[in-house]
Structure 1
Amino acid sequence: MMNDFYPEIEPYNHFLIKVDNQHQIYVEECGNPNGQAVLFIHGGPGGGCSTNDRRFFNPEKYRIILFDQRGCGRSLPHGCLDNNETAFLVADIEAIREKLEIQDWHTFGGSWGSTLALVYAQTYPARVNSLVLRGIFLGRPKDTDWTFSGGGATQIYPDYWQEYLDVLPNGKTSIQDAYNLMIGDDKELAMRVAKAWCTWEIRCCTLIPNQDFVDAATGDEQAWTMARHEAHFMINDCFLSDNQILENCHHLKDIPVTIVHGRFDIVCPFDNAWQLHQALPQSKLIASDASGHASIETNTKHHLIEATNAMLLLN
Structure 2
Amino acid sequence: MARAPPVTGYEHDDAWDEGYLKVDDMHEIFYQQYGKKDGKPAIFLHGGPGGHTSKSNTAFFPPALYRVVLLDQRGCGRSRPNACTANNTTWHLVADIEALRAHLDIAKWALVFGGSWGSTLALAYAQRHPSAVGSLVLRGIFTVRAAELAWNFSPCGAPTLFPDKFEEFVDFLPQEERGDVRGAYYKRLMSEDESVSHPAARAWNKWELSASTLYPPTEEKLAQLEDPTWLLAHARMEMHYFANKAWLEEGQLLRPENVDRIRGIPATIVQGRYDVVCPPITAWDLHKAWPESRLYWSDDAGHAATEPTTKKKLIEVCEEYAKLDV
Q: How does 1:287-302 map to 2 (within 5 A)?
A: 287-302=297-312
Report deviation, 1:177: 2.3
SS at match of 1:43: coil
Corresponding position: 1:234 with 2:242 = yes
Report deviation, 1:221: 2.1
Q: Report the Cα distance in structure 1 between the residues aligned to 2:16 and 2:71, rounded to whole angstroms.
A: 14
Q: Report the Cα distance in structure 2 between the residues aligned to 1:139 and 1:260, rounded to whole angstroms.
A: 18
Q: How does 1:135-150 map to 2 (within 5 A)?
A: 135-150=140-155
Could you tell me the TM-score, scaled by structure 2's length?
0.93
Q: Report the Cα distance in structure 1 between the residues aligned to 2:185 and 2:7, rounded to whole angstroms.
A: 40
Report deviation, 1:149: 4.4
Report deviation, 1:185: 4.5
Q: Report the Cα distance in structure 1 between the residues aligned to 2:154 and 2:77, rounded to whole angstroms.
A: 27
Could you tell me the TM-score, scaled by structure 1's length?
0.97
Unaligned runs of 5+ in 2: none
Q: Report the Cα distance in structure 2 between the residues aligned to 1:309 and 1:4, rounded to whole angstroms.
A: 15
Unaligned runs of 5+ in 1: none
Q: Report the Cα distance in structure 2 between the residues aligned to 1:101 and 1:26, rounded to whole angstroms.
A: 16
Deviations 1:130-178 (A, max 9, x none): 0000000111121111013445101110100011111122324432321
SS at match of 2:260: helix
Give the CA RMSD over aligned residues.
Answer: 1.5
Corresponding position: 1:156 with 2:161 = yes
Q: Report the Cα distance in structure 2 between the residues aligned to 1:3 and 1:206, rounded to whole angstroms.
A: 15
Identity %: 42
Q: Report the Cα distance in structure 2 between the residues aligned to 1:185 and 1:62, rounded to whole angstroms.
A: 41
Number of residue pairs matched by the alignment = 315
Match of 2:229 among 207, 221, 239: 221
Q: Report the Cα distance in structure 1 between the residues aligned to 2:310 and 2:48, rounded to whole angstroms.
A: 18
Q: Report the Cα distance in structure 2 between the residues aligned to 1:114 and 1:195, rounded to whole angstroms.
A: 24
Deviations 1:235-267 (A, max 9, x none): 101111111100121111110110000000000
SS at match of 1:294: coil
Q: Report the Cα distance in structure 1 between the residues aligned to 2:39 and 2:195, rounded to whole angstroms.
A: 46
Q: Which residue of 2 aligns with 1:117?
A: 122
Q: Report the Cα distance in structure 2 between the residues aligned to 1:217 and 1:147, rounded to whole angstroms.
A: 20
Q: Report the Cα distance in structure 1 between the residues aligned to 2:313 and 2:283, rounded to whole angstroms.
A: 15
Q: Report the Cα distance in structure 1 between the residues aligned to 2:6 and 2:319, rounded to whole angstroms.
A: 13
Q: Report the Cα distance in structure 2 between the residues aligned to 1:251 and 1:14, rounded to whole angstroms.
A: 32
Corresponding position: 1:311 with 2:316 = no
SS at match of 2:219: helix
Q: Which residue of 1 aligns with 2:199?
A: 192
Counterpart contact for 2:6–2:307, Cα < 8 Å = no
Residue type at the aligned position of 1:17 = L
Match of 2:47 among 43, 47, 57: 43
Pick which of 1-10 and 289-298 moved more: 1-10
Q: Which residue of 2 aligns with 1:171?
A: 177
SS at match of 1:205: coil
